[in-house]
Structure 1
Amino acid sequence: MAATPSTTTPPVDSISPEELTAKAVNKRYEGLVMVRTKAIKGKGAWYWAHLEPLLVHDTDTGLPKAVKLRCSFCDAVFSASNPSRTASEHLKRGTCPNFNSLANPTSSVSPSQTTVAAATSTQRSRKRSSSSVTVTATGGRGVLVGSGLDCSYQATPLSIVDPSRFCGDSAYSLSPGTVSGGSLLPQHQQQLVLSGGKEDSSALAMFEDSVKKLKSPKTSPGPTLSKSQIECAVNSLADWVYECCGSVSFSSLEHPKFRDFLNQVGLPPVSRTVLAGGRLDAKYKEVKAESEARIRDALFFQVASDGWKVKRFASGGGSLVNFTVNLPNGTSLYRRAIFLNGSVPSKFAEEVLWETVTGICGNSVQQCAGIVADKFKGKALRNLENRHHWMVNLPCLFQGFNCLIKDFSKELPLFKTVAENAFNLASFINKTSQIRSCFHKHLLQECGSVGLLRVPLHDIENVNAGPVYTMIEDILNSARALQLLLLDETFKMLSMEDPFARKIVEMIRDAGFWNELEAVHSLVKLIKEMAQVIETERPLVGQCLPLWDDLRTKVKDWCSKFHIAEGPVEKVIERRFKKNYHPAWAAAYVLDPLYLIKDRSGRYLPPFKCLTLEQEKDVDKLITRLVSREEAHIALMELMKWRTEGLDEVYARAVQMKETDPVSGKMKIANPQSSRLVWETYLTEFKTLGKVAVRLVFLHATSCGFKCNWSLLKWADAYEHSRVGMDRAQKLIFIAAHSKLERRDFSRDEEKDAELFALANVEDDVLNEAHVETPSV
């Protein structure tokens, strides 16, 4: 126990008489407050529920000079010298007018009625529903007094409780009391039992409040808001509901608790029919007009289409295809959504894409610089590009990286072997009860928690599938527990009798099994992390070649670390690269000033030396295709000049200037628009090549964009054949997508919640590690 610091007590002579009096008064006040507090909790006299100690200060010195008692019924103030006498004279003898009229036990009342008086003290709280209540009765009438239920009323006992419930119970009796000063003095007290149980006390309190309002109606006005403030608040509420895009249901606005909240802050109830009707239409028109104006202001644009590849609905019946418009200034605008069921023919996809383009720019179709879409079966993108020479139609880079994992699963024997071994091991541990119990004992010792190893139901060879990857991850996380399992006597006995168990023992002891398991897990994790960065940062088309080179370097290091032959792995990567490759990757790479390399002369030159011979030819072919026949030779001449002269050092360094990103902490380009702006403002001598460059360098390489919440997708799937339902879904998606793209928020609310709870679990695990006692083996 820490020592109490010593304090210097001033001599008695130095304290003035006023200060001594104030000290005594203050001590008296604190004592009364403590007594009253105990009484309210049911450990003192009943009258403290109606008498409140007050500390009176001197107006000149400000020091406490006296202690008074205030009646909570009539606000009268009395001396605090004798609280018991004050209660008898003021409350019991009828001096208090309010107490006499509301709680006088001798007032007339019908035997079949119950009169409840809502005379409460200012310190009454809602906790009274669980407080103790006592009743005494004489002649069929009683007085209800309690420390928590701050009321007194006269009632017939039979109207509150059933006497037959207490037959033979000697602990409960209603004995005649003694009348003193117009009140009943109880001889026997017992906690009141209501027929509805403990929850009846809450109902009784509500009834008491109702009676009080009828006897002395007093309105307690909430916050007073002006008409404009109310309209502004309701508009903000509506915008929040729309932009949540299904996470907040319209029906939840009519929840009693939410309506109570609106009432508390001074807002009127909000009707779901109004929000889903006129307000929704008005908001949609406003957002649509703003989006149209921004598209008209741009000289050209790119259409991004996402959703052809991935099934969106949990029911599995349909999918949502989103169409976004990417503008040269780096912003993205939502355009439309279509709901599809089943497989989509390539011709249908081609028609929908072109219809979207013409719906944006009408007959001025050359404003569309190209399309980027997640890949679907067929040649829709290529057909549109062949018919419209100015377009650059790209497959989604993010989709290409994800497909690479599937390629490894199919073409590398290592993946198949690891998946089968992991499945056999996990199934054996989960299905055998005795072994599972032993495993859980060691798992609890090592990890602090237990659970089954997650095993996929089917398609165990597809490591790209989530269940297979998580199964491998579970086994790696349980490696130490599996090693200890081999030393368990119970497991040893079972493995001697079961041949399959002996194979599992050999597998766990084999270092090669763990090396292969970790190798597969590491490669899949590597590709997934790169794909996640691509989805988040949405790189431009000029970044495609550097990203694939970065992947090759990382995979080469992976082969070296896990002693894997490089040949088969490189073959899989190159095959996927060729499937996703587009000549625009190489053209944008050498035309984007961001990738210029400093020469000995001091000028910055395009990185043609990083291209293969075939890629150099692709650059020439693409540039000549994107211009008219008359301008083709001029474009090639300017390309040669660009290749030999490049860009001035000052402008090149300005384009390549980097700064620390405050969110991620990584170094990023300070102004991503500089690559395009330097062609439009400084490199004016490249008139033909410049027109190609400004359209190429701004193109996005991924179709990743807005993600709709699952709740709205389910709703849209349910009302697929309802014109009104689908119209509302379209408008909600448009408003929500516009808001999210404005904030550059490309995640789904459900994903954010999952991350939040996962983070909370990690924090809990870290805290629990210091407190969980590890059981002995």
Structure 2
Amino acid sequence: MAATNAGTSVESASADEAAAKTAQKRYEGLLMVRNKAIKGKGAWYWTHLEPLLVHNTETGLPKAVKLRCSLCDAAFSASNPSRTASEHLKRGTCPNFNSAAKPISSIFPVVVPSSSPSSASPFSVQHNHRKRTTTSPSASGSGSGSLYHAPSRFGSGLVPQQPHLVLSGGKEDLGALAMLEDSVKKLKSPKTSPGPALSKAQIDSAIEFLSDWVYESCGSVSFASLEHPKFRAFLSQVGLPAVFPQELTGARLEARFEEAKVESEARIRDAMFFQIASDGWKWNENVNENGKSYDSGLVNLSVNLPNGTSLYRRALFVTASAPSKYAEEVLWETITGICGNLVQQCAGIVADRFKAKALKNLENQNHWMVNLTCQYQGFNSLVKDFAKELPLFRAVVHNCLKLANLFNYTSQVRNSFHKYQLQEYGHTWLLRVPLHEFELGPVYAMMEDTLSSVRALQLVLLDEPFKMVAIEDQGAREVGDMIRDVGFWKDLEAVHGLVKLVKDMAQEIEAERPLVGQCLPLWDDLRAKVKDWCSKFHIAEGVVEKLVERRFKKNYHPAWAAAYILDPLYLVRDTSGKYLPPFKYLTPEQEKDVDKLITRLVARDEAHIALMELMKWRTEGLDPVYAQAVQMKERDPVTGKMRIVNPQSSRLVWETYLTEFKSLGKVAVRLIFLHATSCGFKCNWSLWRWVCARGHHSRTALNKVQKLIFIAAHSKLERRDFSSDQEKDAELFTLANESSKVSTAFVKSGKVLRFQALLH
């Protein structure tokens, strides 16, 4: 054993000596190159870069060679001096290096006696074989013409104006000339003392805010951008050290993740029960870097608490072939991972579109759970129903496709179209065309483009190029007749209005995130708006109403009716002044659903007690003062809409005031807080998809991305910020003319504000 250790020590010593010789040789070589350069026989940057020999603190032997910037004392690897010079000096990373070209007027005038031409400055020497022109003050005006002008006076006598300064190296020499002048100034005047440096505590705090901003941006801010020369220059300018990506993706990321995780789990433990929200069970066609397509779904799992807050749990990468049973297992594992064997803490699940069999199975196996499908997805699915089964919808889409293909892809017609677009609207565009007729987003965009181009489309028909095309093309004649037909525009406006009606309601659902008690009023509101739409455009109500009712039944859950009855927010004042539950707005089937759901959610021996309490609630209701307090509203200063002052009042009334309803109260507090949508936070998923595309080869990277998403989601949900950075950017550019809104959007993140304040 001793012999082995001795042998290892000898080998280590010989390796250190070899490395030391290599470093020493490299150091001496760089010194030789620098000495030659200083004498004018080498690259310019060696005047600012000095080789340093770094020694091993234990052995005292040389171990590495560094380059030190003599202007700012920063140290760099000596492997590529030219690249170091380009990135540190030329690109402005060094705060004390100024390579900007200065006007030649800063060098002139040079006092030259007119009787002694031989004593002229060497900078004024010109190559006689070059063609030159001179610009007199009278010809050039106040600075027009050439970039630099020599002065017209030397000393006290008038002399002819100097010609343009021409250097042997061309325009690139101007930067070198400015550097020479800089060097002269620095030698003549001592360095100015720097301002007060930031303390270590200030630096640590600033970097903490910076790292939080990068984490919470979740891919929108690239880690690699921390190495951008201009960002490095910014950090140096404000007195902060360089921050490397490795610092933010290592221990600091782990610590920040643990902090967010501990806080999240503590909040869940404090709550008596929770709801699981799951979105992303939908598939998108993607292409990886090898050009191979694959189907992927990103499933987000979060936790809704009774106090109205939401907490992120995890993200899951799922393939399109995943069966309903797999979704069921994922949801159940999430529940048990949160509360272990105390699964009664999970009041239910809300999930977006996938096979509803998983939700139904879990609900049947656990009588205390209420598992709902997402209302946002339900409204979006209704638009698809219209697209597939409404004859008017299909006819309008077909006609718009014919029109768009003609005006986009027939050159004579397109040129004429652009001419009139420019005349009428000030800019040109192509009509957006979907890949197929059931791509609702692109289809809706095509309708909008067509409606917004109506004047230009009509003018094209009067243009000679269109008439020539129509003579030879039957399709062009049909499109022309269609544009002239008032019926086409009426039908297009009707279909566009129907889609907009449902899409606007879906967007409001996504923004408001209504609770389960709001579901029945939402669908009643939709029915009323659809009826008004039919009346406005003189369309028979039967087919449209049939599609609405079918989608309602697919999405309906008995919990909608029960929550509507038990939530004090929807109590109605009767003629006697009592505030009673709105049973009169339920159908007989929905009334039965209320009884069935309540008896399912309580223990068997409490079922009859719960029904008796329900009857008492139906006849007595809530004290008018408490009912009015729950239903009190105020105007939102941002949107202008009336909002409930305290959304938590509905649940708190059952827990603190309606204590005589012991069994029914247990159902009410668990039921009325449930969310009816699974819409989670939005972020830039590009980094996640990039890692997932590489599969098992990037498990470490996948783990880091998971933690990054958790940190970002935790922060966004804490701020109740469900929008994406892309949406914010679009809003920013839309409101670019309002400077106050621009500045507010630009520094919206609290981390950026605190980071900015710290630097000041």
What is the RMSD computed on CA atoms of the aligned residues?
A: 3.2
Please name the residue that 1:21 is paired with: none
2:711 is equivalent to residue 711 of structure 1: no
Higher relative contact order (CA 8 A, sep 6+): 2
| Conservation of the 8 A alpha-carbon contact between 1:545 and 1:585 | yes
Establish whether residue 678 from structure 1 lines up as the match of residue 656 from structure 2.
no
Q: 2:428 aligns with which of 450, 455, 461?
A: 450
Does residue 745 (structure 1) correspond to residue 718 (structure 2)? The answer is no
Q: For the Cα contact (< 8 Å) 2:579–2:622, is it kept in 1?
A: yes
Deviates more, 1:708-717 or 1:613-622: 708-717
Alignment-mate amino acid for residue 553 of structure 1 = A
Distance verdict in 2 for CA 1:527–1:145, change over 3 Å:
same
**Which residue does the alignment assign to 1:774?**
none
Residue 121 of structure 2 aligns to a residue whose secondary structure is strand
The partner residue of 1:383 within 328, 343, 361 is: 361
Establish whether residue 221 from structure 1 lines up as the match of residue 194 from structure 2.
yes
1:471 aligned residue = 446
- In structure 1, give the amino acid aligned to 2:387: S
Q: In the aligned structure 1, how far is the partner of 2:282 from the partner of 2:130?
A: 77
Q: 1:485 to 1:641 in 2, by over 3 A?
A: same
CA shift for structure 1 position 135: 9.0
2:626 equivalent in structure 1: 651
**Residue number in structure 1 paired with 2:348:** 370
Aligned 8 A contact 1:134 1:191 in 2: no
Kept in 2: contact 1:135–1:192 (CA 8 A): no
Alignment partners' CA distance in 2, 1:451 and 1:623: 57
Matched residue, 1:754: 730
Structure 2 CA distance for partners of 1:386 and 1:187, relative to 1, 3 Å? same
User: How far does the alpha carbon of each residue in 1:534-570 deviate from its partner, in whole angstroms, 9 at most, with x for none?
Assistant: 0011000000010000000001110111111100101
Give 5+ residue unaligned stretches, structure 1: 1-108, 118-124, 147-156, 173-179, 764-777
Distance 1:216 1:312, change over 3 A: farther
Q: What's the secondary structure of 2:638's corresponding residue?
A: coil
How many angstroms does 1:465 deviate by?
A: 2.2
1:309 maps to 2:282:
yes
The CA deviation at 1:145 is 7.6
Within 2, Cα distance between the matches of 1:206 and 1:126? 6
Report if aligned partners of 1:312, 1:713 keep a CA contact under 8 Å in 2: no
Find 1:734's aligned residue among 710, 716, 723.
710
Does 2:245 align with 1:272? yes
1:167 aligns with 2:145: no
Tell me what 2:259 maps to: 286
Q: Distance in 2 between matches of 1:580 and 1:358?
A: 27
Amino acid at match of 2:462: L
Q: Specify the code of the residue in structure 1 equivalent to 2:598.
A: I
Moved more, 444-453 or 586-595: 444-453
Cα shift at 1:504: 1.5
Partner of 2:76: none
**Offset at 1:112?**
9.3
1:432 pairs with 2:394: no
One-letter amino acid matched to 1:423: L
CA distance in 2 between counterparts of 1:641 and 1:413 reads: 50
Contact 1:482 1:508 in 2 (8 A): yes
Opposite residue 452 of structure 2, the aligned amino acid is: N
**Given the alignment of the two structures, is residue 724 of structure 1 paired with residue 686 of structure 2, yes or no?**
no
Q: 1:142 to 1:379 in 2, by over 3 A?
A: farther
AA aligned to 1:451 is W
In 2, Cα distance between equivalents of 1:196 and 1:538: 67
Q: Deviations over 1:206-243 (max 9, x none)?
A: 34434544665525414411111111111111111111
Answering whether residue 677 of structure 2 is matched by residue 699 of structure 1, we say: no
- The 8 Å contact of residues 313 and 710 in structure 1, kept in 2 or not, is answered as no
Select the residue among 190, 207, 210 that pairs with 2:163. Answer: 190
Cα distance between partner residues in 2 of 1:143 and 1:649: 98
1:603 corresponds in structure 2 to 578
Aligned residues: 623
Displacement of 1:127 in angstroms is 6.7
Match of 2:600 among 625, 630, 651: 625
Q: Which residue of 2 aligns with 1:205?
A: 178
Equivalent residue of 1:372, what SS?
strand
Given the two structures, how large is their TM-score scaled by the length of structure 1? 0.75
Aligned counterpart in structure 2 of residue 261 of structure 1, from 210, 223, 234: 234
My pick for the range that moved more, 701-710 or 753-762, is 753-762
The residue type equivalent to 2:722 in the other structure is F
Q: What is the CA distance between 1:613 and its match in structure 2?
A: 0.9
In structure 2, which of residues 462, 471, 476 is the aligned counterpart of residue 487 of structure 1?
Answer: 462
Kept in 1: contact 2:276–2:335 (CA 8 A): yes
* Conservation of the 8 A alpha-carbon contact between 2:283 and 2:295: no
Deviation string 1:145-198 (CA, Å, 9 cap, x unpaired) is 89xxxxxxxxxx6xxx8x4xx4154769xxxxxxx99x9999873333234543
Question: Closer, same or farther in 2 for the Cα pair 1:494/1:184, shift >3 Å?
Answer: same
Q: Deviations over 1:275-317 (max 9, x none)?
A: 1101111111111111111110000000101111253968664
Q: 1:572: how far off?
A: 0.5
CA distance in 1: counterparts of 2:664 and 2:310, whole angstroms = 26
AA of the residue aligned to 2:264: S
2-structure distance, mates of 1:170, 1:614: 98
* Pairing 1:550–2:525 present: yes
- Larger Rg: 1 or 2? 1
The 5 A counterparts of 1:77-96 are: none
Q: Deviation string for 1:298-339 (max 9, x for gaps)?
A: 000001011112539686643221111101000011111112
Q: What one-letter code is carried by the residue in structure 1 that aligns with 2:721?
A: D
Q: Which of 358, 383, 397 is residue 375 of structure 2 equivalent to?
A: 397
TM-score when scaled to structure 2?
A: 0.77
- Find the aligned partners of 1:340 and 1:685 in 2 and give their Cα distance: 47
Unaligned runs of 5+ in 2: 1-37, 48-97, 135-153, 289-293, 740-760
Q: Percent identity?
A: 69
- The change in CA–CA distance for 1:199 and 1:564 in structure 2 (over 3 A counts) is farther
State the 1:483 CA deviation.
2.0
Deviation digits for residues 509-552 of structure 1, max 9, x if unmatched?
Answer: 21111111111111111111100000011000000010000000
Q: Matched residues in 2 for 1:442 and 1:413: separation?
A: 33
1:375 alignment partner, SS class: coil
**Which sits farther off after the overlay, 618-627 or 426-435?**
426-435
2:138 matched residue in structure 1: none
In the alignment, residue 321 of structure 1 is paired with which amino acid? V
Alignment of 1:350 onto 2:328 = yes
> SS of the counterpart of 1:129?
coil
The one-character-per-residue Cα deviations of 1:47-90 (angstroms, maximum 9, x if unpaired) are xxxxxxxxxxxxxxxxxxxxxxxxxxxxxxxxxxxxxxxxxxxx
| Aligned counterparts of 1:723 and 1:679: Cα–Cα separation in 2 | 48
What is the rounded CA distance, in whole Å, between the counterparts of 2:723 and 2:40 in structure 1?
68
Q: 1: CA distance between counterparts of 2:448 and 2:176?
A: 54
Partner of 1:459: 436
Distance in 2 between residues matched to 1:508 and 1:544, nearest whole Å: 41
Flag the 1:418–1:678 CA change in 2: closer, same or farther, 3 A: same
Q: Take 1:744 and 1:400, find their aligned partners in 2: how far apart are those partners?
A: 23
State the shift of 1:741 in Å: 0.6
Shift of 1:204: 2.9
CA contact (8 A) 1:426 1:453 kept: yes
CA gap of 1:190–1:395, structure 2 versus 1, over 3 A, is same
Structure 1 counterpart of 2:337, from 350, 354, 359: 359
